[in-house]
Amino acid sequence: DQQVKQNSPSLSVQEGRISILNCDYTNSMFDYFLWYKKYPAEGPTFLISISSIKDKNEDGRFTVFLNKSAKHLSLHIVPSQPGDSAVYFCAASDSGGSNYKLTFGKGTLLTVNP
Amino acid sequence: KAGVTQTPRYLIKTRGQQVTLSCSPISGHRSVSWYQQTPGQGLQFLFEYFSETQRNKGNFPGRFSGRQFSNSRSEMNVSTLELGDSALYLCASSLAPQEPGNTIYFGEGSWLTVV
């Protein structure tokens, strides 16, 4: 059972426009969320995170929004750049659990066209 | 400083064989976790080791095992390989056990193909 879902396998946007990557989760115990970016032939790298006590976290061009009632989070990249082209993974965790671990989605391939 | 190093980067094995993958964490990091990435399932947690002890385990069969050495280096082993074990195996390290706010750093992965 997929507890973290990224329903869009791919997304294509024009350079300079906004990229919006979506993620849904089913486990109501999840309270800490992260986004990772992965280039081909490289390991994932941490991008941004958000705790459930917030509904927004911003870091430069990257903003993550969390809607707890909808069990939905999104990553906004503004403005998008060709170098942002990568696979983006959403991850979630239950910080109160006895065995903390990250549960990842299947990823969304973002392509930013020049 | 050097990142997470995984060896080998690429390997091909035959069904029924076993394989051992190695991971050297970032210097000073004591937590090592392993993930399997496949196109159909994304990134799935295998296990985490901290101070030579398995701290957490994902939902994988007992054919998947691991260990951590006193220098924090870790190995994972898959026995009786199946075609479905073909995947990218990622190792990640962190200073302390995985917990909120504690960033984990991934290696480039070991690509395993089972034929």
Residues from chain A contacting residue B97 (CB–CB below 8 Å): 100
DSSP string over B6-36:
EE-SEEEE-TT--EEEEEEPPTT--EEEEEE
pLDDT digits (tens, 9 = 90+) for B7-21: 999 999 999 999 999
pLDDT digits (tens, 9 = 90+) for B77-101: 999 999 999 999 999 998 877 777 7
- Which pLDDT belongs to residue A98? 64
Looking at per-residue pLDDT, the higher value among A95 and A20 belongs to: A20
Inter-chain contact A32–B97, Cβ cutoff 8 Å?
A: no
pLDDT of B1 higher than 60: no
Interfacial residues of A (vs B; Cβ cutoff 8 Å): 6, 32, 36, 41-46, 49, 51, 89, 91, 93, 95, 99-107
- Which pLDDT belongs to residue A41? 81
> Which residue of chain A is at minimal alpha-carbon distance from B46?
A101
pLDDT, chain B, mean: 92
Does residue B69 sit in helix, strand or coil? coil
Question: Is the CB of residue A93 less than 8 Å from the CB of residue A100?
Answer: yes
pLDDT digits (tens, 9 = 90+) for A72-94: 999 999 999 999 999 999 999 88
Distance CA A21, CA A88 (A): 8
Percent of chain B's residues with pLDDT above 70: 99
| Nearest C-alpha neighbor of A37 from the set A3, A66, A64, A65 | A64
pLDDT of A54 higher than 90: yes
Q: Kindly state whether B25 is in contact with chain A, defined as any CB-CB distance less than 8 angstroms.
A: no
Which band of pLDDT confidence, cut at 50, 70 and 90, is reported for residue A97?
Answer: low
- At residue A77's C-alpha, the angle toward residues A76 and A82, to 5°, is 150
Interval B51-77 mean pLDDT: 95
